[in-house]
Structures are given as C-alpha cells and as structure tokens.
Copies of this chain bind each other. A is one copy, B any other.
Amino acid sequence: MQATGIIVEYNPLHLGHLHHIKQTRKTTEADCIIAVMSGPFLQRGEPAIIDKWERTKTALEASVDLVVELPHLFAVQHGDYFSKGAVETLANLHVSSICFGSEQGTIEPFLTAHKTWEDKRDSFDSILTSFLEKGNSYPESSRLAYEAIGISEIDLSRPNNILGYSYVKAINRYAPSITPETITRVESDYHDETIEGTIASATSIRKNLHKYGEITKKASETLPTFTSKALQAYRDEKQVWHSLEIYFPLIQHLLWTSSPEELRMIQGVDEGLEHRLLKAIDVSSSFHDLMHTVKTKRYTWTRLQRLFIHLLTNIKKTDSRLLEKPVSYVRVLGMNDRGREYLSQHKKDFEVPVVTQLKQLEDPLFTLDLKAQKAYLYPLSGENRVDSYRREKMPPVFY
C-alpha cells in the first residue's frame, strides 16, 4: 500500500477541505490518505474550536484513512518548524508523497523557486535580516527577500503558497524521498473574515460561530453535515467553543503572578516584551483589550497569540532544543480499516514508535503534547475536564 500525506488543522473541517481530500485521492491515486493534524492548539496561536478527538472524527467522515497528531511543540510555530514537524511525522509513516492545496496549483514553480533559493541562500539570509532590521514582520520580510533574489514564478505573498513552499523546503531538507504535489485550493483566502458562498475560509466560519454562539444557516452551508453535528455535540456536551478569549482569566493570572524573569523563560518572550506585557495586563479586561494594547507592527497578531499559547502551555525557551531534533514518535488519533491495514502492513519498518495508547511512550516531546492537552481543557467545567483528560488515555477513534 502507498500512502499520501496531507497536513491539516480542520478548525473546523469545511467543504473546501472535503474538496482537497477528494482531489488528493484522485491526483495521487494513493491507497491511503494520512492526515497529520494539529492537536489542541493551532499554528496561528489559537486553541482549536473543538477538541482533536472530535476533529479526528470529522476527518475520518471525510474519508481520511489515518489521522495522526502533529506534536504540540511544532504545531504552534512559524512555517518552517511547523513544516518540519509535519513532514517528519509523515516521513515517519513512510508516505510516498505529500499533497497540499495552494493558490498556485502546480508543483513545478515551487521546485524552481526552491532551486533559486538554494543557489542564493546566503544573499537571501542577509536580505531577510536587513528587512527584519527595518522593522518589518517576519512574513513580510520573507516575501520581500524572495522577491529580491528573483523568485518570480510564484507569488509568495499568497498564504497557501507560502505554507506550501515551506513544505517543499522541509521535504527537501528532512525527507527528500517524499514527492511533493499540489492541487489548486478552492477555499477562499484564509484571511477572509466573512463567509461568502459555500467555500469559505475556516477563519470566517469560526468568526461566524463565535459571534452567534450557534451554527447559523450561513455557516452550515459551508460545512459538511458531520462537521455541523460535531460542533453542535461538542457545544452541547462541554458548553463551550474554544477561543483565546475564554482563557483570558488564566492568561491574566499567569502574567500577574509571574516575575519578569519568569516570563522571559517562556518561548516568544523576547526583546523586553515581558515589560510591555506586564504593563498591558494591568489595564486589560479581556483578551481583545490585551492584544490591542500590546500589538505593534513588530509584534504581529500571530506572534503574540503564539506567545500566549506558550504561556498557557508553559512552553519554555529551553524546550526549543527539541525543535532541532527529529520527531521521535507518531501519535495515532484515528483510523478506518484502510488506515489500520496500512499501519499493520508497515509496522515492522517504522523507525519510531507509532503510539495508539498513552502509556506506551516516555518522550519529552510527548510530555509537551499532554501538557498542551491539559491546558486546552481549562474552560471546561470540573467534571468535563477530568472526563476529557480520561479520553486522552483511551485508544484512537476507529471508523
């Protein structure tokens, strides 16, 4: 059996994702589609709207065959580390190819661009540094630096092209035997804030859900029925859809009881940011307040959100060393018969433990996954918190 990997968050899984899965199966003719999915917290520094177990179910409903968890430490990082974690996880499962959605829609320009970058790497790095020093954000500086070294075959200001390009870089560096492939992303721009039509960005769908506290007609038209059901069931059972706002009392407490020295140990608290945070928190009544008080051109929204996730999950700067090491396990969240068959066929060849039960693993990277999962449960009521944590110790979802 041959497998193709996809890299997903499914926050929540919408009709655009469904299209991506169908197209991937068609294009790659893979026997097995393996999704590496972020767990409790996501790349742009947010808690997932519903937990990873419910999102795993939607992935399996959408005909993904095997869902595995992207280790938390890699899940909440800028594109390069995020891609490293995702690609290495899929490589650990011996996928033949990775297929991502992009605005570009064809793989050749990605490969050419990567070749150009490799040839001009030194000058790229110094150009990037100079843009950063001028006070540009990291994404903006990268875009300008790519332009400056003459990458013209692909628009690296489009969000899915940027992400796809970082997958290609990671594949080249960490798992060159994997073939990168891409399909045209039909989802609307993920920066879109309002729902337009049935193919909407996950961001706009979440905004709509949080705003109305229910699944509006507009939102439901963008979602497969099983996603709407999963969202509703989670809300009915746990009384919540997660957003950073509901973690605010905790964020305020942590900032209020930490010394500047302690804050400086948290990943992302750099350049004296701890003082800015400690000043802002005294006058903030909500997460929204806090972000608007702290944000500047230099400290982008995403960078700050990631920092707050690191604070919530107690991820230290010293944990960063694990980002440089290879991903050392695969945590299975769910599978169907095909996924199970794939695992049993390849089991003997895997170089790292493929974990289906919590107790099977002692690994510092995995300890952080558990910590993140526990931190995620904060907004739930007492009983729900303990029950949900118990879920963590149970076998994967079978579908």
Cβ 8 A contact of A282, one of B253, B286, B389: B389
Listed stretches A44-52, A87-95, A124-132, A379-387; interface member: A379-387
Total A residues in contact with B, Cβ cutoff 8 Å: 26
- Contact (Cβ within 8 A) B386 A282: yes
Give the contacts of A4-52 with B (CB-CB under 8 A).
none
Can you offer 30 A-B residue contacts whose CB atoms are under 8 A?
A: A248-B382, A249-B250, A249-B378, A249-B382, A249-B385, A250-B250, A250-B253, A252-B378, A252-B385, A253-B374, A253-B375, A253-B378, A256-B371, A256-B374, A256-B375, A257-B312, A257-B313, A257-B314, A257-B374, A257-B375, A258-B314, A282-B386, A282-B389, A283-B386, A284-B386, A285-B382, A285-B383, A285-B385, A285-B386, A286-B382
Query: A378–B313 Cα gap in the complex (Å)?
Result: 18
A-B pairs, 8 with minimum CB distance: A256-B374, A285-B382, A257-B314, A285-B383, A285-B386, A286-B382, A253-B378, A257-B371
Contact mask for chain A residues 275-307; partner B; CB cutoff 8 A; 1 contact, 0 none: 000000011111000000000000000000000
Distance in angstroms between the alpha carbons of A257 and B371 in the assembled complex: 5
Which residues of the other chain, B, contact A378 by a CB distance below 8 angstroms? 249, 252-253
Q: How far is the CA of A255 from the CA of B282 in the complex (A)?
A: 25
Q: Which chain B positions have C-beta within 8 A of A250?
A: 249-250, 253
Those of A92-130 within 8 Å (CB) of chain B: none
Q: How far is the CB of A288 from chain B (nearest CB, A)?
A: 10
* A258 closest partner in B (C-beta): B314
Could you tell me the distance in whole angstroms from the C-beta of A69 to the nearest C-beta in chain B?
Answer: 18
Complexed CA–CA distance, A285 and B257 (Å): 24
Q: Once the chains are docked, how many angstroms separate the CA of A145 from the CA of B32? A: 74
Contact with B along A42-75 (1 / 0, CB 8 A): 0000000000000000000000000000000000
Q: How far apart are the CA atoms of A371 and B254 in the complex, in Å? A: 10
Distance A285 CA – B383 CA, assembled complex (angstroms): 5
Q: What are the interface flags for A242-283 relative to B under an 8 Å C-beta threshold, 1 for contact and 0 otherwise?
A: 000000111011001110001000000000000000000011
B residues less than 8 Å from A312 (CB atoms): 257
Bound CA span A258–B374, Å: 11
From residue A238, how far is it (CB to closest CB) to chain B in Å? Answer: 14
- Kindly list 10 other residue pairs between chains A and B, CB separation below 8 angstroms, not including A256-B375, A284-B386, A285-B383: A248-B382, A249-B250, A249-B385, A252-B378, A252-B385, A253-B378, A257-B312, A257-B371, A257-B374, A285-B385
Of A262, A371, A374, the most chain B CB neighbours within 10 A belong to: A374
Give residues of chain A (340-399) contacting chain B, Cβ–Cβ below 8 Å. 371, 374-375, 378, 382-383, 385-386, 389
Closest residue of chain B to A282 (Cβ to Cβ) is B389
Bound complex: CA A382 to CA B366 (Å): 34
Q: Which of A184-227 contact B (CB under 8 A)?
A: none
How many angstroms from the CA of A386 to the CA of B256 in the assembled complex? Answer: 11
Q: Which residues of B contact A385 (CB under 8 A)?
A: 249, 252, 285
Inter-chain CA distance A247–B285, complex, in Å, is 19
Minimal Cβ-Cβ distance residue in B for A284: B386
CB distance from A384 to the nearest CB of B (A): 9
Q: In the complex, what residue of chain B is closest to A247 when comparing beta carbons?
A: B253
| Across-interface contacts of A253 in B (CB, < 8 A) | 250, 374-375, 378
Q: Which residues of B contact A249 (CB under 8 A)?
A: 250, 378, 382, 385
Q: What residues on B are CB-neighbors of A252 within 8 Å?
A: 378, 385
On chain B, the residues within 8 Å of A382 by CB distance are: 248-249, 285-286
A317 to chain B, nearest CB (A): 15
